[in-house]
Chains A and B, each alone.
Chain A
Amino acid sequence: MRRNTWQAPWSYREGVIIGGGLVFLGVVWQVFLPSSGFQLPFWPGNLYMGLIFLALLFTLHFLLKSTSVVKWLASVPAAVTSAALYCGLAILLGIIPQGQSSGSPIVHVLGLNQLTSSWVFALANLYFLTSLGLATLKRLFPFKLKNLGYLLNHAGLWIALTAAALGSSDLQRLSMNCTEGQPEWRAYDGSGQLVEMPVAIELLDFQIDEYPPKLTLVDNETGRIAVPDKKNAFFSVADSSFQLLDYRVEVDRLLPEAGLIGDRFEPVNEVGSPPAARLTVTRLSTGDSQSGWVSSGSFRFQPYAFKISDQYSLVMLPPEPRKYQSDIRVMTQEGQQLTATLEVNKPLKLGGWKFYQLSYHADMGKWSDMSVIELVRDPWIPVVYLGIFMMLAGSLFLFRHGTYKKKGLENGLD
């Protein structure tokens, strides 16, 4: 028995048509509306939007439950088609570079290089969240314990996605360049706009802990790494002795901060003094051996290579950071003070803001006296995390049901 399109119960065909309609509508709005995409209101406008959306879902569920549209929105075909639309847009997002101007006028006009703020994306989101929300409500009332896994997964996803979408307009991410000894209160947002902060940050000390530098063999003519075997092309000076092609390399002496005096290096204590090492190189096939210096150089000094033959030279790479941290003092307008240490992966929480160690003056490396601190304010994050933790709990149900699939079908999914 064949069903006509739009004849109840609706299925995939309607889903595809509705999805296509939303894409068409999104493109038309994108091209003809004056603003370049969808702009969410700030707090509390976004909160009202969320409440209206929620009220709308409740109304649809409780008053119009028996209509074929609402029945269909809460069904698998709507879930599959809306997820497929979302997935398709994400594929575009994953292929087209975002946030940069594009040579192609089509990409520009359709907003494909700023897809997450385009109308199409907003409408796809709305379609997905409507379907997901109604499916959740269908299982929520009346509540049954056996639906717990289902509800954690579905409600968790709905809460996380809705809060993330609505909260995106309230999210503030600023960066502040702090120089040692100078209190700073001016921060900049992503588009370079100045924002004056109610707190000032003074960088007391910036420190970098570095890995031992690495050595490699380069071709004198091309300047490229001469070792074709990718897994053994670099050795840390800490791993002496080691073999590069036909040469055995031994580190005789390692100076963490050194200066070139004549044709040798000596320890010095000066800003910008690079590491240097004295090496003994033995050619294995002939047994010939020679010694010489290498240095990675720094922002003040040239690198120093050890030419071991007409063909090859040994070079030292600049050391990579193992850890970097900023000791800071935070001062509020009321005169309160607080000192703290910021490190990557260890942010500081203060008055609704989170402070992150972002970067430093990379050219100057460990002599940098400037530290870039990121300031993030995201008031919606507790709601997003509620959703995330619900999903994590829900994934355990799915895990359990994986081994008892039939039961999983009854309990876990719709």
Chain B
Amino acid sequence: MGWINFEYYAFAALLLWGVGSVSLYLKTDKQGIGVRVPALFSAAGLAVLMLFILLLWLKIDRPPMRTLGETRLWYSFLLPAIGLVSFLRWRYKWLLAYSLLMGGLFLLINILHPETYDKSLMPALQSVWFIPHVIVYMFAYALLAASSLVALKAVYQDYRGKRWNTLPNLADNFVYLGFSFLTMGLLFGALWAKEAWGHYWTWDPKETWAFITWTAYLIYIHYRYKHQHRHKQAMWILLIAFGLLMVCWFGVNYLPSAQNSVHTYTS
């Protein structure tokens, strides 16, 4: 099957997530149902997607982490997963809804613009570091995306003159975890590069942008520590940091400096 049946799985996941999102906002008297129904539908969507990922992995006989489309697939799994866990933990309806929406959006992008090219795994990528490096990074990206959803919500609430004083703390929870994974991903990459290319850091464009992203979140964390009450500036730093992260993930492919990078996914 490979990617051939992707649409069916994607539409099934989208449908389940759609129902889950709607059920989040249905009025119900029973507290338990208001949590369980959306959680079950979201989890069912995740299960469908995981099944697809596993079947794809078996079929192509290599970890599906090589192409841009494949990284988006992981992202559209991990972000709703994080949304679901936070919903169960903190009961943030809007966060689950947004993360389902974002996950669904990435599934749609994969349907319309696959960029999955059936690629062989070049020898440099055949390493024990490959899976931890990519998974840790995708997890970090998904957590940091969740933090920027929080920041967006905060900025919007501020614009409408509504209260949003609990949001920065929620954003911090995601950033701390996300930054921890981001650091691991970066350092795993360095250790791997030493084994594969002879040097741990060569300022390859992807490395450079990963460093930029890392520094941006570093700045956010330090700023938040020092100024616990300058919420608005902090939320803007978070949004800028996520913009840099997006350049690192997708944008690098289009930069003149990156024509020879091993990370362009298309070479």
> What is the interface of chain A, defined by CB distance below 8 A to chain B?
75-77, 79-80, 83-84, 86-87, 90-91, 93-98, 116, 164, 171, 173, 211, 214, 229-236, 320-324, 343-347, 354, 356, 358, 374, 376, 378, 381, 384, 388, 391-392, 394-396, 398-399, 401-403, 405, 408-409, 413-414
- Chain B contacts for A344, CB-based, 8 A: 123-124, 126, 196
Which of chain A's residues has its CB closest to B6's CB? A231
On whether the beta carbons of A398 and B199 are closer than 8 Å, the reply is no
Task: Please tell me if B225 contacts chain A, counting CB pairs below 8 Å.
Answer: yes
Q: A-facing mask of B91-127, CB < 8 A → 1, else 0?
A: 0000000000000000000000111111011111011
- Bound Cα distance A358, B115 (Å): 28
Q: Which of B174-220 contact A (CB under 8 A)?
A: 176-177, 179-181, 183-184, 187, 190-191, 194-201, 203, 205, 208-209, 211-212, 215-216, 218-219
The CA-CA distance from A356 to B181 in the complex, in Å, is 29
Partner of A232, one of B4, B123, B208, B212: B4
CB distance from B168 to the nearest CB of A (A): 10
The chain A residue with its CB closest to the CB of B196 is A345
Q: Is B3 an interface residue (CB 8 A)?
A: yes
Within 8 Å by CB of A76, from B6, B69, B222, B256, lies: B222
A-B residue pairs in contact (CB < 8 Å), sample of 18: A75-B226, A76-B226, A91-B212, A94-B209, A95-B256, A97-B257, A214-B118, A231-B2, A231-B118, A234-B118, A322-B123, A347-B198, A356-B197, A391-B183, A392-B187, A395-B180, A395-B184, A396-B180
If A98-B257, A173-B199 are given as contacts, then 11 extra A-B residue pairs at C-beta distance below 8 Å, sorted by A number, are: A76-B223, A84-B215, A94-B205, A97-B256, A229-B114, A236-B118, A345-B127, A398-B176, A405-B169, A413-B222, A414-B225
B22 at the interface (CB under 8 A from A): no
* B: contact size bracket: 35 or more
Closest 8 pairs (CB-CB, A-B):
A402-B176, A76-B226, A402-B177, A344-B123, A231-B114, A399-B180, A87-B215, A94-B208
CB distance from B145 to the nearest CB of A (A): 16
Q: Which residue of B lies closest to A399 (CB)?
A: B180
Once the chains are docked, how many angstroms separate the CA of A384 from the CA of B209?
21
Partner of A391 from B187, B219, B247 at Cβ < 8 Å? B187
A344 to B218, CA, bound (A): 34
Binary interface profile of B, 1-23, with partner A (CB < 8 Å = 1, else 0)? 01110100000000000000000
Name A405's contact: one of B176, B205, B259 (CB within 8 Å).
B176
Q: Which residues of B contact A358 (CB under 8 A)?
A: 198
Q: Is the CB of A93 within 8 A of B208?
A: yes
Which among B117, B127, B196 is the interface contact of A234 at CB below 8 angstroms?
B117
Residues of A within 8 A of B4 (CB): 231-232
Instruction: Determine whether the beta carbon of B208 is less than 8 Å from that of A90.
Output: yes
Q: For the complex, would chain B's binding face be called helix, strand, loop or mixed by DSSP majority? A: helix
Cα–Cα, bound, A94→B69 (Å): 23
Contact partner of B201 (CB less than 8 A), chosen from A164, A320, A401, is A164
Q: Does B157 contact A (CB under 8 A)?
A: no
Residues A347 and B195 in contact, CB atoms below 8 Å apart: yes
Cβ A402 vs Cβ B180 within 8 A: yes
CB distance A376 to B116 under 8 Å?
Answer: no
User: Contact at A96–B257, with CB atoms within 8 Å?
Assistant: yes
The distance in angstroms between the C-alpha atoms of A388 and B188, with both chains bound, is: 9
Q: Tell me, in angstroms, the Cα distance from A87 to B233 when the chains sit together.
A: 18
CB distance from B97 to the nearest CB of A (A): 23
Shortest Cβ distance from residue A391 to the other chain B in the assembled complex, whole angstroms: 6
Counting CB contacts under 8 A, is B173 at the interface? yes
The complex places the Cα of A394 from the Cα of B187 at a distance, in Å, of 12
Nearest-neighbor residue (CB-CB) of B215 within chain A: A87
Q: Which B residues touch A229, using CB under 8 A?
A: 114
Q: Cα distance A376–B247 when bound, in Å?
A: 32
- Tell whether, in the assembled complex, residue A90 and residue B211 are in contact, meaning their CB atoms are under 8 Å apart: yes
Nearest neighbor of B170 in chain A, beta-carbon distance = A405
The answer to whether B180 touches A398, judged by C-beta atoms less than 8 angstroms apart, is yes
Q: Are A345 and B195 neighbours in the complex by a CB distance under 8 Å?
A: yes
A374 to B199, CA, bound (A): 11
* CB-nearest residue of chain A to B169: A405
Separation of A347 and B193 alpha carbons in the complex (Å): 12
The answer to whether B205 and A354 have CB atoms under 8 Å apart is no
From residue B215, how far is it (CB to closest CB) to chain A in Å? 4
User: A324 and B123: CB pair below 8 A?
Assistant: yes
CA distance A321 to B201 in the complex (A): 25
Residues of B within 8 A of A413 (CB): 221-222, 225
Instruction: Confirm or deny: B26 has a beta carbon within 8 angstroms of a beta carbon on chain A.
Output: no
